[in-house]
A = this chain, B = another copy of it.
């Protein structure tokens, strides 16, 4: 598919930091374009559920994907950050930077974080680049999310055990013009995932 010839060592010596294998070659090896699919929404809105379904559907089509979420980010790279506004800003900045690296590696990145602030998501879009960024609003009312309370976090927030919890003590700023809006009260997670896969397929094949 791609013919690679080793550059002479002399040439390499002159430009030792030039990455000779670049994004377009990695994308070609993947068989599709890479990009970042940024899911935002309240805790319990269905971000991780949809992201997991989307990953399974894309995997079945042999797409290269990776999912960044609280499980693999908060416990590792961002374990030093708290949930203050400053901590949250830095959390989103690092996720955006890591997503950019994965995109450069030819991978479709799905991110599933509340990411409540418009300004932070705007910054993420700037870091990643307009062309590689899809903002997906996973929509469900606070009432519904609190009713689901999958991880019991709303209960803890109401009891004051958790502070700065989005929707309770901290605001959620909904996207005004998301690339896609998926309402998990009106549609099943499976339908939502299918709609998102459709959008991703359009973008990565173009």
Binds B, one of A68-76, A117-125, A157-165, A169-177: A68-76
**Residue A29 lies at the interface, judged by CB distance under 8 Å to chain B:** yes
Cα–Cα distance between A71 and B16 once the two chains are bound (Å): 11
Q: Number of A residues contacting the other chain (C-beta, 8 Å)?
A: 51
Contact bitstring A47-75, B, C-beta under 8 A = 1, else 0: 01100110111011010111111111000
Most B Cβ at <10 Å: residue of A68, A98, A190: A98
12 A-B pairs in the complex with CB atoms less than 8 angstroms apart? A13-B189, A16-B49, A19-B55, A20-B52, A20-B55, A21-B67, A29-B64, A66-B101, A66-B105, A77-B97, A98-B101, A105-B105
Chain A contact residues, majority secondary structure: helix
**Residue A9 lies at the interface, judged by CB distance under 8 Å to chain B:** yes
The number of times this chain is found in the oligomer is 2
Point out residues on A near B: beta carbons under 8 Å.
Answer: 2, 4, 6, 9, 12-13, 16-21, 25-26, 29, 46, 48-49, 52-53, 55-57, 59-60, 62, 64-72, 76-77, 94, 97-98, 100-102, 104-105, 107, 127, 150, 188-190
Cα–Cα distance between A57 and B60 once the two chains are bound (Å): 29
